[in-house]
Structure 1
């Protein structure tokens, strides 16, 4: 064997570049803030030219939307699937599964980073806010609305206003995401997201269950 021949560096596959760009974009957005982030800085971090980045994404807004699809978009899609598959058979178990899935996913800083960026920048970038509303919030609301309606039909949930139920269902996941990241203090406890989901579900579901005449 001729050991004098140097091995060639591995070539970067074109199909990997969108993920590399998004990874770099998330780092830059997190470090500098979305408003002040520059495409040239993202390109440099990804090891590409600015022109190469524009072959895949036409703006930093497009990058953030893609990051939302990878994180919050996947979570609400999974929630929608769980709701459609399980709400009719067992709405309580389905809610527990959705909440546990969401809290475990959002405990990962890489997953919660894009939703947090949108929440922080929504006031300055209304187009991003509208995108997040349609792509994430409305999908999540439809999933939870289906869950509540199926729970009512089966008699497992009592008749309460839909919007109140939706806020009660969705609120804990958003609150935990913010408290464990943006508003976290060094000495804050770090609860296991699976155990926390079970505890929250117990509180929420015990407020939703059908009441007897003596409890009214």
Structure 2
């Protein structure tokens, strides 16, 4: 009887272990080259066991996005809440949050994979857009709109502002994943984010003295 709880915990942990293994295999090999056999072996389960939890590689990728990446959106949302809606207070808190996310999950590798393989596997791009891109752009857009309503940000399309803000950070992810491995100097994400935020907000804030 004493062994039953241990067995139950192990069984309950299997989906998470499989998702973690899939994240590592997708990041290293890409979507097309990732084999379910390799993912199962890395998770320490049989391929048949993997199919008990995930019906296909596509559903497994969806789980990777939802479980490994989507929770990071809540970290950004929490930072916004702590800033009480004041964008001048919020901005200095974002660079370390972005750096932590980059260190904790292979964002750049997955983004590169989605871009490189989306033509042949459009559903992985759709999953990434629905779970990550759209919520992030929407969150930043709403934050900008709120700041405009409070008189902090100059008039302009909030969504355009959002893309202006996240675009260079996104490109630094791609640079570090594509260019750095072939000899280019990688970017320090936290330093780049801090400088970019300082630069864009000195142009966007109605009161430049409120810029971080």
TM-score, normalising length from structure 2?
0.81
Please provide the CA RMSD for this pair. Answer: 2.6
Structure 1 position 76 matched with structure 2 position 73: yes
Asked if the contact 2:141/2:162 (under 8 Å) is kept, the reply is: yes
Q: Deviations over 1:30-81 (max 9, x none)?
A: 3432113221222122221111001111111122122212343122232234
**Structure 2 portions without partners, runs of 5+:** 1-5
Question: What SS does the corresponding residue of 1:149 show, helix, strand or coil?
Answer: helix
Question: What SS does the corresponding residue of 2:53 show, helix, strand or coil?
Answer: coil
Say which one has the larger Rg: 1
**Structure 1 portions without partners, runs of 5+:** 1-9
Q: How do residues 119-198 of structure 1 correspond to structure 2 at under 5 angstroms? A: 119-184=115-180, 185-186=182-183, 188-189=185-186, 191=188, 193-198=189-194
Deviation at 1:189, TM superposition (A): 4.9
Query: Alignment length, in residue pairs?
Result: 201
Question: Match for residue 61 of structure 1?
Answer: 58
Q: How do residues 37-116 of structure 1 correspond to structure 2 at under 5 angstroms? A: 37-86=34-83, 88=85, 90-108=86-104, 110-116=106-112
**Kindly tell me: are residues 25 and 72 of structure 1, through their superposed partners in 2, closer, same or farther at Cα, counting changes over 3 Å?**
closer
Q: How far apart are the structure 2 equivalents of 1:77 and 1:109?
A: 15
